[in-house]
Amino acid sequence: MLCLHCILDYSTLDFDHGLDVLHGVDMKFDQHGGYKIWRHNKVIYAELSGTWNKEAAINYAKELKALASEYTDTWGHYVCFDRWELCSADVFDIVQSLVDWCVDNGLRRAAQVYSHSAIKEQVISKMVVEELGQFKRAVFDDKEQAANWLTEQGYKVTFFESSGN
């Protein structure tokens, strides 16, 4: 009689990195969640949407760094979170690292816009510091107030797309 056994060797699973590495094979996942990102003058604009996974954060970080690398002076960031629906835990380190990079590369002010949400506020606050060196972040529930604040801080908001809200 033939006896077959299926043995899963748990020593090959990388639980510290979200099971991204299984049997030495780097597993690639599709991006979940989206964004629009563009720059105008001294401001990088972003509209985030959906529930983000690690791949969305990695792609966003690459695009933001590419846009920010074109600046030779300080810059501001206007980001709308109204259509963003939180993220998986593996996004936190990516965003924290991105914030550090941005601050080191000229980001001085960030205006974040979203309707009041205690959960959203808590998640975003874990990823993005309120102040770091010369960097300051402010949260608004009104796009015009956010634009006015960023303009008053020296980063004139002259153009942003409607997110359809």
For 94-132, the DSSP string reads HHHHHHHHHHHTTEEEEEEE----HHHHHHHHHHS-SEE
Give the SS3 label for residue 85: strand
Residue 158 domain flag: no
Structural domain that includes position 45: 30-152
Report yes or no on 138 lying in a domain. Answer: yes
Structural domains of the chain, count: 1
Each residue of 128-160: pLDDT tens digit? 878 889 999 999 999 999 999 999 999 999 865
**What angle (nearest 5°) sits at the alpha carbon of residue 118, between those of residues 117 and 120?**
65
Residue 124 is predicted with a pLDDT of 84
pLDDT tens across 93-125, in order?
Answer: 999 999 999 999 999 999 999 988 887 888 887
Q: Judge contact between 73 and 106, C-beta under 8 A.
A: yes
Contacts of 140 (CB under 8 A, 6+ apart): 111, 112, 113, 146, 149
Answer yes or no: pTM beyond 0.85: no
Q: Which residues have CB under 8 Å from 24's CB, separation 6+?
A: 12
Q: Inter-axis angle of helices 118-127 and 92-104, to 10 degrees?
A: 60
In a domain? residue 14:
no
Q: The domain that contains 109 carries what CATH number?
A: 3.30.750.24
Please provide the average confidence, as pLDDT, over all residues in the chain.
Answer: 82
Q: Is 64 helix (H, G, I), strand (E, B) or coil?
A: helix
Q: Do the domain assignments include residue 10?
A: no
For the ranges 1-10, 19-28, 99-108, which has the lowest average pLDDT? Answer: 1-10
In a domain? residue 25: no
